[in-house]
Amino acid sequence: MSKSASFATLMLFAVASALAVSACNMGATKNAAEYQYEVMNPWADVDPIPPRSISQRLDTLDGKKIGLFANSKRSSVPQARMVEKRLKERFPNVQTDLYHAPDPDYIAQDNPQWGKFSAWIKTVDAIVLTVGD
């Protein structure tokens, strides 16, 4: 059973149990309408980074500088080079800049290389990511 299915089953059980207890206590001094239950997710992931909109699309690639980000997998650089070749065939005035990440968490914000990567981002108009699988 998947984690989400297990969680859904657990939550359904918790709500059903609460309703059963509430039904048993209906003869008590409190009215059933006075009971209120809050179901909380113990696995909640809270993202501390505020959401923002995506970047606007470029009207053309001609004359733009396109960053080619190659991740740490073996074929990502050859894939990026193929994208570069195709871009230059279609848009002769396009500039490209290859950025190769040597390890999987290279662009994590807590990685010492984050400053170099974030500076590179500011030098390009758009980025094409190659995964290398």
CA dihedral of 89, 90, 96, 100, whole degrees rounded to 10: -80
Confidence check: pLDDT of 70 > 70: yes
Residue 1 has pLDDT above 60, yes or no: no
Type of residue numbered 69: F
pTM of the model: 0.58
Q: What is the pLDDT of residues 8-51, one digit of tens each?
A: 665 556 666 655 555 555 555 566 667 777 777 777 677 677 77
Strand partners, 67: 97, 127
pLDDT tier at 59 (50, 70, 90 boundaries)? Answer: very high
The mean predicted confidence, pLDDT, of the chain is 79
**Structure token pair of residue 98:** 């290859």
